[in-house]
Amino acid sequence: MTSQLFTPFKLGPLEVRNRTVRSAAFEGMCEHNSPSPSLFDYHTAVARGGVGMTTVAYAAVCRSGLSFERQLWMREEIVPELKKLTDAIHAEGAKASIQLGHCGNMSHRKICGCTPKGASSGFNLYSPTFVHGMDIKEIDEVVSAYGHAVELAISAGFDAVEIHAGHGYLISQFLSPYTNHRHDEYGGSLENRIRFMQKVMREVVRVGKGKVAIFVKMNTRDGFRGGQEVPELIEVAKELQRLGADALVLSGGFVSRAPQYVMRGEFPVRAIVHYMPWKQWWLKAGVLLGGKIVAPTVPFRKLYFLEDALKFRKALPDMPLVYVGGVTSGEDCEKVLDSGFQMIQMARALLEDTDFVNKMYADMHHCSGCGHTNFCIGRMYSLEMACHKHCQDITPALEREVQRIRRRNEKRNK
């Protein structure tokens, strides 16, 4: 195999066997906020399938950062189980990364144990819930929590950490004028809105530099009018490079405002409603009636973030950049690497087939069988993320809906 995709790559203390990374797509496999056998089985299967590095997602740096019930919460008691996971991943020849973040306003008291915290006070329709704007003491506490989470990740044997600074989570909420309405030193100008990210990164670099590779996932644009756009986010990227990030993962979108800009395709209303518990009947009704209005379809196309990512590639010629978004084949990977990116992340292709990378190694023309119906995402809100092809509990009605969405996707892409 002569493809650059299957050449080793070194980044700080990290050396991977090839340029592929399982992206930090939330698995929903952590009951009681702890690692589970299903999380272990999935990531070891991905490692066995040939990926260079697999990323465990999304781990809250403290309890107030939890957005889902089945989500990791970094604390000492789960380190031994995480160490078993990283040991198993290493035994398959892959490296292990973990995404660390804080959801900010995208939570609920019953999950995070407090009134959700954000850059500013207000009401978040996503949860739905009222939100408390963080004071300086709370900001400093969360910054310290990031550092402690990196310490725990190192103890658990991870080779890399990915700091989540995009998608409308807490760092992104401070960066974006859409969610940051503060009138102190953390609000207003970009110089002020960037301060929280700077404090987090200084703490992460202090604890982790040279011990783990430090990736940062960030937006190339928020994906809606009133959010951050490419020019300002390029300045954010330059600051991340200055602060000591080893690589940037270029994504986009705001989960609470433009979710389909992140994922592309149709919002999986029927799957979400089907798996949502009946005790949330009012939320089920709201999603069924207004889901596609709140989250309109953004058609899926291959390599959908590449156009914007190339602007960052030009502006940061010396910064290692990781591409994510719409990778479906070996040929897609070749195109991205030929465009100057160092690594490639993918999620749905590795959910549909954990052996996807091995199959690309055997045949660079191999294409993922994922139909991008987003059933997996709909299921994720209540249970673990899983492709409809592997679900024993999928109903005939849901299967028919999946196939209808797939046909609509194929028609759009003709």
* Residues catalogued as catalytic: 169
The C-alpha atoms of residue 294 and residue 326 are separated, in whole angstroms, by: 23
CA angle 167, 307, 296 (to 5 degrees): 50
Torsion of CA 37, 42, 43, 49, to 10 degrees: 140
| Residue carrying the six token digits 């207004």 | 290
The C-alpha atoms of residue 205 and residue 244 are separated, in whole angstroms, by: 6
* The pair of three-digit structure tokens given for residue 68, joined into one six-digit string: 């889902």
Whole-angstrom distance between the N-terminal and C-terminal Cα of the chain? 32
CB 22 within 8 A of CB 55: yes
> Three-class SS string for the chain?
CCCHHHCCEEECCEEECCCEEECCCCCCCCHHHCCCHHHHHHHHHHHHCCCCEEEEEEEECCHHHCCCCCCEECCHHHHHHHHHHHHHHHHCCCEEEEEEECCCCCCCHHHHCCCCEECCCEEECCCCEEEEECCHHHHHHHHHHHHHHHHHHHHCCCCEEEEECCECCHHHHHHCCCCCCCCCCCCCCHHHHCHHHHHHHHHHHHHHECCEEEEEEEECCCCCCCCCCHHHHHHHHHHHHHHCCCEEEEECCECCCEHHHHHCECCCHHHHHHHCCHHHHHHHHHHHHHHHHHCCCECCCCCCCHHHHHHHHHHCCCCCEEEECCCCEHHHHHHHHHCCCCEEEECHHHHHCCCHHHHHHHCCCCECCCCCCCHHHHHHCCCCCCCHHHCCCCCHHHHHHHHHHHHHHHHHCC
| Residue carrying the six token digits 């080779």 | 159
